[in-house]
Amino acid sequence: MNSADLGRRVGVPSTALFTDQYELTMVQAALKAGTADRRSVFEAFTRRLPEGRRYGVVAGTGRVLDAVENFHFDDEMLTFLREQDVVDGPTLAWLADYRFSGDIWGYPEGEVYFPGSPVLRVEGSFAECVLLETVILSILNHDSAIAAAASRMSAAAGGRGLIEMGARRTHELSAVASARAAYIGGFHTTSDLAAGFRYNIPTVGTSAHAFTLLHDTERDAFRAQVDSLGRGTTLLVDTYDVTEAVRTAVEVAGTELGAVRIDSGDLLLVAHRVRQQLDELGATETKIVVTSDLDEYAIASLAAAPVDAYGVGTQLVTGSGQPTCSMVYKLVARAGSADPAEPLRPVAKKSLGAKSSVGGRKWAARRLDQHGVAEAEVVGTGAVPPELADRQLLVELVRDGEVIAREPLDAARERHIAARAGLPMSAVQLSRGEPVIPTEYV
């Protein structure tokens, strides 16, 4: 079953081959060695934030739950693996019965994270957990990168409308995931109907320059659009001459015109001129929407402009220059056997430089100062200090292979707004800087 975050039900094909070959060859070797069933703990985390970023945003958790639930090998997949000689017969037999039966804990979607934060913790046998590495990372790295960019743009917009419109700038399926992540990060609507269908994200859209060019005159195009969509529609006014287009738009739609869209030129200057013109024509309630290769910096530069909404495409769906979060998925603890009573032993790769990690099954909590503002991300492997007991960040997502924590997408969106508001004010500065709070290991 797939509930698409409690939105419209959409069938999802098996995710079992969204993986790297070495996941399967490790399973084969572990099965032969008798270590495949050892109890294990894997964690997804990032060693650093993208350069200059001050916080990360957890996104994709709901999609991860769908992916885990749909991770199974059908007959056609098993035939492919056999014909390509990827794994041997005993391993194919094991894969045929595969269903994840372990537990998953993680930061709730929309929460912020920092270097070392155990964003997702996967527990079960080594074999069943290791198979999930690639699909989990592909989702979290993509969606969290988009959500972080969206969050920065949302902060820069200062409450003004944000429209996600990047579908034509990325892979068609990435576009749907991007719209979902952008909504979590603070965007209000999307132009992508697949995202609206699947996740119940509000959709918007009226016309492109092609519609104006189709007609003999701009007035004819505006009249056709208003007759079809009503006076509350948004008319695109920069196909020819903006001043003349605004005048024509108000003549056609009246002062009840919903909005005008500007997609080129010096947006700061043009927006001021258009606002003045609209007001002089009596269209004081008509909104101004701007598009055209915007990012968080461009949005911030328009803070003083009379702009009501921003449409963002390319920079959003590419993470505004940071298309991945560089999360990794590492074995951090394992038992000496499959016996539930066998104690877990911390394990970690020994490495010099930037690839070091901390072993042990971790908890995480956020310490607040006397004003209720976050001052540190505290990560530990032992007992949780009493003063942090009610500030723990990981929540149970999957228990004994069953998803138990699906939620509406709006819950993740609202959580992010609250989480970002709980950070120091410098978190939303666009200037380059270090993580806004430090990570402390105890």
pLDDT tier, 260 (very low <50, low <70, confident <90, very high otherwise): very high
How confident is the model over 2-44, as pLDDT tens digits?
A: 445 556 656 667 999 999 999 999 999 999 999 999 999 999 9
Find the length of the chain: 442
**CA pair distance 262, 246, nearest whole angstrom:** 10
Q: Chain centroid to CA 248: how far? A: 40
Q: Quick check: 87 and 81 in contact, CB under 8 A? A: yes
CA 145 to chain CA centroid, Å, is 6
CA atoms within 13 A on the CB side of 179: 30
3-state secondary structure 129-192: HHCCHHHHHHHHHHHHHHHHHHHHHHHHHCCCEEEECCHHHCCHHHHHHHHHHHHHHCCCEECC
Q: Dump pLDDT digits (tens) for 272-300.
A: 999 999 999 999 999 999 999 999 999 99
**Whether 149 contacts 316, CB under 8 Å:** yes
Distance separating alpha carbons of residues 375 and 128, to the nearest angstrom: 37
Condensed to tens digits (0 to 9), the pLDDT of residues 123-161 reads 999 999 999 999 999 999 999 999 999 999 999 999 999
Contact 109, 181 (CB under 8 A): no
Q: How far lies 90's CA from each of 24, 76, 110, 368, in Å? A: 12, 17, 41, 52
Residues forming a β-bridge with 328: 45
- The answer to whether the pTM exceeds 0.75 is yes
Q: Does this chain's domain 21-146+324-441 share its CATH topology with 206-294?
A: no
Q: What is the CATH number of domain 21-146+324-441?
A: 3.20.140.10
Domain ranges of the chain: 21-146+324-441, 206-294
Report pLDDT for 357: 81
| Residue-level pLDDT at 231 | 98
Q: How many CB atoms lie within 10 A of CB 284?
A: 10
The candidate with the shortest Cα–Cα distance to 356, out of 23, 20, 19, 45, is 45
- 206-294: CATH class: alpha beta
Residue 414 neighbours by CB distance under 10 Å: 13
Please state, in angstroms and rounded to a whole number, the distance separating the CA atoms of residues 366 and 393.
7
Half-sphere exposure of 122 (CA within 13 A, CB side): 27
Q: At what angle do helices 89-96 and 21-33 cross, to 10 degrees?
A: 110
DSSP 254: -
β-pairing, 259-262 vs 39-46, is: unpaired
Question: What's the Cα-to-Cα distance from 325 to each of 5, 56, 305, 310, 423, rounded to whole Å?
Answer: 23, 8, 32, 25, 20
Instruction: Count CB-CB contacts under 10 A for residue 106.
Output: 26
CA dist 308 and 330 (Å) reads: 45
What would the mean pLDDT of 307-331 be, rounded to a whole number? 97
Query: Quick one: pLDDT band at residue 165, thresholds 50, 70, 90?
Result: very high
Q: What are phi and psi of 85, to 5 degrees?
A: 55, 40
CB 177 within 8 A of CB 184: no
Among the listed residues 29, 60, 7, 108, the one whose alpha carbon sits nearest the alpha carbon of residue 397: 108
Token pair of 87 as six digits: 């794994």
Q: Which of 149, 59, 154, 182 is nearest to 109 (CA)?
A: 59
Q: What is the helix (H) or strand (E) element at residue 287, kind and residue range?
A: strand 287-290
SS3 119: coil
Helix axes 89-96, 75-83, angle to 10 degrees: 160
- CA distances (Å), 347 to each of 34, 120, 125, 350, 356, in order? 19, 17, 15, 9, 12
**What pLDDT, in 10s, does the model give residues 167-196?**
999 999 999 999 999 999 999 999 999 999
Residue 391 binned pLDDT confidence (cut-offs 50, 70, 90): very high
Return the percentage of the chain with pLDDT > 70, whole number: 97
Please tell me the least confidently modeled range out of 24-28, 337-341, 354-358, 411-415: 354-358
d(CA 316, CA 166): 7
Identify the three-state secondary structure at position 122.
strand
Structure tokens at 74: 């059908």
Beta partners for 384? none
- The average confidence (pLDDT) of the chain is 95
**Segment 49-102, tens digit of pLDDT:** 998 899 999 999 999 999 999 999 999 999 999 999 999 999 999 999 999 999
374: Cα within 13 Å, side-chain hemisphere: 30
Cβ proximity of 378 and 364 under 8 Å: yes
